[in-house]
């Protein structure tokens, strides 16, 4: 009995000694796609990169990790925002801008189109006589003008502002439809043309009939000036013969600031 116990103890000690002397194996996980220094990354027949520890004389070969790219910052927030917009009937992440999300608007003419368009039907409680197909920066500029310019200027006259008479929004054409001219901001979804303000009592303040005439004319002048800031370009009857009956607002930006005429 004693001999058997001593033998068992000896076997255990030998096993422990062998285990202690054996090479250890790391249990730490290795990231997928890890590249050893100096290894050339090749997707036959084209080399797409090389490990960063190797000096690569070919400047055209750029090292690229094989790990999957991280999601762009804010992607999930924008997705949630889009879902909430659909539920509320609003667009551009702004509850005061009502309409529908359209997405990309492509056109055969080079320079025309909208990468992420919306069709706006109401801004800050003011309806549009026809839905404006524009991008979100333009929709937000329109909302800012309505809140800071339109509503204070019209005040309670005729019961207050009710709708904007929209003459144009997205349209793939050149500036003033002149042959050979540059693509208009309308062709990029960055512009809206407004011909009149419709009041709640049914009366209107129109650019064509009221510009430069009495109290309505002064209101239109104030509306024109209030757009200088929220928009990059503001054109009215004093600019040229093409704008005698409407205001043109667009979100083009210039180094010198807003262009108002």
Domain residue ranges of the chain, discontinuous segments joined by +: 124-260
Helix H or strand E segment including 75: helix 75-88
Taking CB atoms within 8 Å and a gap of at least 24, the contacts of 62-65 are 65/33, 65/35
> How many Cβ atoms are within 10 Å of 40's Cβ, its own excluded?
13
The pLDDT value recorded for residue 227 is 98
Tens-digit pLDDT profile for residues 139-164: 999 999 999 999 999 999 999 999 99
The fold adopted by the segment(s) 124-260 is Muramoyl-pentapeptide Carboxypeptidase; domain 2 (3.30.1380)
* Token output for 91: 């667009």
pTM: 0.67
* Token output for 89: 């009937």
Residue range 68-87: mean pLDDT, rounded: 65
The pLDDT value recorded for residue 83 is 67
């Amino acid at each position: 009995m004693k001999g058997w116990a001593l033998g068992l103890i000896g076997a255990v000690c030998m096993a422990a000694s062998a285990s202690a002397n054996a090479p250890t194996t790391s249990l730490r996980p290795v990231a997928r796609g890890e590249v050893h220094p100096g290894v050339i990354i090749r997707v036959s027949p084209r080399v797409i990169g090389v490990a960063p520890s190797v000096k690569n004389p070919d400047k055209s070969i750029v090292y690229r990790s094989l790990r999957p790219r991280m999601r762009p910052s804010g992607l999930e927030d924008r997705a949630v925002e889009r879902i909430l917009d659909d539920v509320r009937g609003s667009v551009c992440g702004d509850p005061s801008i009502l309409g529908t999300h359209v997405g990309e608007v492509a056109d055969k003419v080079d320079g025309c189109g909208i990468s992420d368009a919306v069709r706006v039907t109401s801004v800050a409680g003011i309806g549009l006589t026809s839905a404006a197909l524009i991008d979100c920066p333009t929709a937000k500029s329109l909302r800012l003008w309505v809140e800071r310019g339109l509503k204070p200027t019209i005040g309670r006259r005729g019961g207050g502002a009710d709708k904007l008479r929209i003459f144009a929004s997205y349209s793939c054409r050149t500036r003033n439809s002149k042959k050979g001219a540059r693509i208009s901001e309308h062709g990029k979804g960055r512009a809206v043309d407004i011909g009149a303000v419709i009041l709640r009592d049914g009366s209107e303040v129109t650019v064509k009939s009221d510009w430069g005439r009495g109290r309505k004319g002064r209101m239109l002048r104030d509306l024109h000036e209030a757009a200088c800031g929220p928009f990059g370009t503001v054109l009215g009857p004093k600019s040229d013969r093409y704008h005698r009956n409407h205001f043109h607002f667009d979100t083009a930006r210039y180094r010198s600031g807003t262009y108002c005429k």
